[in-house]
């Protein structure tokens, strides 16, 4: 597999182990090498994507700057009865840096004052490959009758009272993924609503609610029932830089499209010169590597005849003699062999570069 812009890496391969292969009297008759490249470049500049590994536009418009924003709100005609759920959670993703200053809970309009005991916690979805545990909430707010905070619209809010991170890291950075959990400490359930019955105030596009189906956290790591039982107040950071970025976006897009056309021409020329590239019908981004690989497998089945198939990346050096010696030594040349390093009991990444949202199990293999 090779990325569209990895021309230099492909040339290193052509001048090293691939050159050795072509000049080898026997291996040259046994091995066919192809670079697998996505036929389409992403038409969104890297600076304007939700993350550098996808082709999803960071769709921020009219950001709400220099003021506090309530993340969730109920419409005036929405009833506020108590549900049966004592634990409710919602996941979200930060698309541009924000600071959360307060956590809040919905209240029962039939109550006089605040009559509940509720804890609200914010968890990070994943931290350095390890799931954050119940005791490692980043922010916490505790509500009780003698300490219920302040009432704003149809919520009670309290400032966050506990931070794991040092003060300078209060900012939730771009690509942060987390979950807010509301827990009733009483026998009663929470005043909660499903995601379709609340208004999400995304500040102009700086955060996005993630449903369980999309997964920041897989189902087995979700706390309680998916929904909203309150909210949080946040502010957008680095507003001037954001406005400058949005202002320069049209010019950046034109330059990027022009660069894509040049890249297409260079790839066509490279393919014509070396005749060792297979273009597969995918947008060439890191998130699309699985689709890229599946399309390559389809091409091999439909176009070639082979006994063994080796997939590698363009930053790897392949010692083909060693590979064939190992195949012979281990008797791996029979049918239905799959040879490699397998991920056994390996946690599935839900965030970051190797994010996997479609694999249902929490660990490999399912």
277 vs 161, higher pLDDT: 277
pLDDT tens digits for range 3-57: 999 999 999 999 999 999 999 999 999 999 999 999 999 999 999 999 889 999 9
- 328 domain residue, yes or no: yes
Same domain, 85 and 176: yes
**In this predicted structure, what is the pLDDT of residue 134?**
46
Same domain, 48 and 17: yes
Same domain, 106 and 207: yes
CA distance 153 to 143: 17
* CB neighbours of residue 197 within 10 Å: 13
pLDDT tens digits for range 328-359: 898 887 778 888 888 788 888 877 778 777 78
Same domain, 224 and 277: no
CA distance 118 to 182: 7
Same domain, 44 and 79: no
**In this predicted structure, what is the pLDDT of residue 114?**
83
Helix (H, G, I), strand (E, B), or coil: what is residue 151? strand
CA distance 316 to 309: 16
Please report the beta strands in 191-303, taking only residues with DSSP state E, as ranges in sequence order: 199-200, 207-210, 225-226, 230-236, 277-283
Share above pLDDT 70 across residues of the chain, in percent, rounded to a whole number: 89
CA distance 252 to 256: 6
Same domain, 167 and 307: no
Angle between helices 7-15 and 249-274 (to 10 degrees): 20
- 199 domain residue, yes or no: yes
**In this predicted structure, what is the pLDDT of residue 131?**
43
Domain count, the chain: 2
Same domain, 225 and 306: no
- 352 domain residue, yes or no: no
Of 160-164, 179-183, 189-193, least confident by mean pLDDT is 160-164
**In this predicted structure, what is the pLDDT of residue 109?**
67
CA distance 82 to 89: 16
User: Is the confidence at residue 127, as pLDDT, over 70?
Assistant: no
- 344 domain residue, yes or no: no
């Amino acid at each position: 597999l090779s990325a569209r812009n990895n021309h230099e890496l492909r040339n290193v391969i052509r001048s090293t182990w691939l050159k050795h292969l072509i000049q080898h009297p026997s291996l040259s008759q046994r091995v066919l090498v192809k670079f697998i490249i996505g036929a389409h470049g992403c038409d969104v500049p890297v600076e304007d994507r939700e993350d550098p590994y996808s082709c999803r536009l960071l769709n921020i418009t009219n950001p709400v700057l220099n003021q506090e924003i309530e993340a969730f709100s109920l419409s005036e005609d929405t009833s506020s009865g108590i549900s049966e759920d004592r634990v409710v959670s919602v996941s979200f993703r930060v698309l541009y840096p924000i600071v959360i200053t307060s956590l809040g809970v919905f209240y029962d309009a039939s109550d006089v004052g605040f009559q509940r005991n509720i804890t609200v916690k914010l968890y990070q979805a994943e931290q350095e490959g390890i799931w954050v545990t119940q005791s490692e909430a980043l922010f916490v707010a505790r509500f009780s009758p003698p300490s219920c905070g302040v009432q704003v619209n149809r919520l009670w809010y309290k400032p966050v009272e506990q931070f794991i991170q040092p003060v300078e890291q209060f900012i939730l950075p771009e690509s942060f993924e987390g979950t807010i959990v509301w827990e009733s400490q009483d026998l009663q359930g929470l005043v909660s609503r499903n995601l379709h019955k609340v208004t999400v105030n995304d500040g102009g596009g700086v955060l996005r609610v993630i449903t369980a189906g999309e997964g920041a956290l897989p189902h087995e790591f979700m706390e309680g029932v998916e929904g909203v039982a309150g909210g949080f107040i946040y502010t957008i950071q680095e507003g001037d830089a954001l406005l400058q970025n949005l202002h320069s976006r049209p010019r950046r897009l034109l330059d990027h499209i022009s660069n894509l056309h040049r890249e297409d021409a260079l790839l066509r020329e490279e393919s014509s010169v070396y005749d060792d590239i297979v273009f597969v019908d995918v947008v060439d981004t890191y998130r699309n590597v699985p689709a890229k690989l599946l399309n390559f497998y389809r091409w091999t089945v439909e176009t070639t005849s082979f006994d063994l198939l080796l997939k590698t990346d363009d930053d790897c050096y392949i010692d083909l003699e060693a590979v064939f010696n190992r195949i012979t030594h281990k008797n791996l040349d029979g049918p239905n062999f799959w040879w490699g390093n397998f991920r056994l009991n390996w946690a599935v990444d839900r965030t970051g570069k190797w994010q996997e949202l479609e694999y249902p199990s929490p660990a490999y293999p399912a």
